[in-house]
Structure 1
Amino acid sequence: MTPEVVVILGLSAVTLVLLLGAFFATTRQDRKPRASESSGESPLQQAETAPPPQPGMGHVGIDYPDPRTITVGDTIDCQGLRTRVLGAMYLSWQGNQWTEYLLDDGSGRYQWLSVETRSGLNPGDSPHLEVLLWTPVPTQGMIPAKTTLSVEGVEFFPVDRGTAAFRAEGVISMPERGLLDFADYRAADGRLLSFDRLQGQPWNSFHAQPLPPGSIKIEKKA
């Protein structure tokens, strides 16, 4: 074998090793668990995470109202729809705390608005607010199982389940304090389906929609 051939084969082997190393590094990165699946969050918080405000998007409490200041009795404009805050639930689970607000638009259609301060997805990222709008979904008595569920033609995969403690306030069909069972599912496109219930009661189900910063206007109660 000539020296030229040896050099060519050596370079080819080095190139192959580099390509394989890059491939396996990429594979490990893709398989890294999502923060929402490994942080022990409540299903009422598990959803496609709204991105933190970027430069030019404004600052909470300065350029747009801070959703954390919402109180029972306030009126808020959410996606162009005026709603009244009838009640609130203050929940905690495995060290996480967040608030759920019961909204009434006057038509008998109720929604929940959840607000939570979330840490950055990567080390060094600044904390940001995650605001989700929850809409009831009819599941015709479906019971959340530990397997994939199909709702309205969409496949949802189990993410987490557990029991959160809560304290209720305002006009709300919940006891003042109690425990809330939950089961959370996520679709491949990031959509979230969640079930919850008071212990011993039937299951309720909801879809979650993340709201962008500044999409809520708050009118404080007089």
Structure 2
Amino acid sequence: MTPEVAAILGLSAVTIALLLGAFLATTRQGRKPRTSGTPGESPLQPAEGAQPPRPSAGHVGIDYPDPRTIKVGDTIDCQGTRTRVLGALYLSSQGTEWTEYLLDDGNRRYQWLSIETRSGPNPGDPPHLEVLLWTSVPTQGMIPAKTTLSLEGVEFFPVDRGTAAFRSEGVTSMPERGLLDFADYRAADGRLLCFDRLQGQPWNSAYAQPLPPGSITIEKKG
């Protein structure tokens, strides 16, 4: 092998390693589960393809309301839709904690709003809030696989799965306490898909739509 050929092969190996590292870093940006139970039997329409949240402009709690202050019974404006917070789930898995709120727009259309404080992508970066709006999607008995799955013509790759402990408050159609299995997936366009279930129950699924900072207005209950 000539020195020129060896150098070309070496550069090719480095390029492949960098591309593989970038792909793994992307797929690891999963999230924790959206809870499953919702009151009523009204069908929910799937959310459109989620777009990445816009960069933060301003300071939470100063320039726009802090969604972590939402309480059961509050009324909030979420993306121009006025909804009431019927209940909340407080979840934890492997040291990570987050909250999910069940929203009702008054027309028996229910969505879940998940709020989690996440660390920055790089060491030393400040933490940020991840706010996701979840909309149920029918999966017709589909079971989340440990490999790639296809739903509505979109390929989703597995990013995380496990079990979370939860405590409920208000109206959630969930027990007061329990365990929730989850499996999270991400598409190449950044769209999120989550399967979850109470242990021993059928799987439910939902798409996630990331919300940009300042998209929620909170009206505290009287």
TM category, shorter? 0.7 to 0.9
Q: For 2:77 and 2:13, how far apart are their aligned partners in 1? A: 48
Asked if residue 29 in structure 1 is aligned to residue 21 in structure 2, the reply is no
- Tell me which structure has the larger Cα radius of gyration: 1
| Counterpart code for 2:19 | D
Q: Aligned pair in 2 of structure 1 residues 119, 51: CA closer, same or farther (>3 Å)?
A: farther
- Written as runs of structure 1 = structure 2, the 5 A alignment for 1:75-154 is 75-154=75-154
Asked if residue 42 in structure 1 is aligned to residue 49 in structure 2, the reply is no
Q: Aligned pair in 2 of structure 1 residues 38, 50: CA closer, same or farther (>3 Å)?
A: closer
2:135 is paired with a residue of what secondary structure?
strand
| Aligned-residue CA RMSD (Å) | 2.6
Instruction: Give per-residue Cα distances to partners, 1:47-72, cap 9 Å, x unaligned.
Output: 9864652xxx1110000000000010
Q: For 2:15 and 2:34, how far apart are their aligned partners in 1? A: 32
1:34 is paired with a residue of what secondary structure?
helix
Q: Is the 8 A contact 1:43 1:160 kept in 2?
A: no
Q: Is the 8 A contact 1:168 1:176 kept in 2?
A: yes
| Larger CA deviation: 186-195 vs 97-106 | 186-195
Q: Aligned pair in 2 of structure 1 residues 36, 164: CA closer, same or farther (>3 Å)?
A: farther
Higher relative contact order (Cα pairs below 8 Å, separated by 6+ residues) = 2
Instruction: Give per-residue Cα distances to partners, 1:19-41, cap 9 Å, x unaligned.
Output: 776665554333223276278x5
Gap runs ≥5 in structure 2: 36-49
Instruction: Give per-residue Cα distances to partners, 1:148-202, cap 9 Å, x unaligned.
Output: 2211111112222111000100111011110001111111111111110111111
Instruction: Give per-residue Cα distances to partners, 1:6-28, cap 9 Å, x unaligned.
Output: xxxxxx96xx95x7766655543
Q: Is the 8 A contact 2:27 2:159 kept in 1?
A: no
| Counterpart code for 1:127 | P
Q: Report % sequence identity.
A: 74
Q: Is the 8 A contact 2:113 2:131 kept in 1?
A: yes
Aligned residue pair count: 205
Q: Is the 8 A contact 1:100 1:114 kept in 2?
A: yes
1:62 is paired with a residue of what secondary structure?
coil
TM, length-normalised to structure 2: 0.83
Deviation at 1:203, TM superposition (A): 1.0
Q: Is the 8 A contact 2:101 2:112 kept in 1?
A: yes
Instruction: Report the counterpart of residue 156 of structure 2 in structure 1.
Output: 156
Gap runs ≥5 in structure 1: 1-11
**Runs of 4+ in structure 1 over 6 Å off:** 19-22
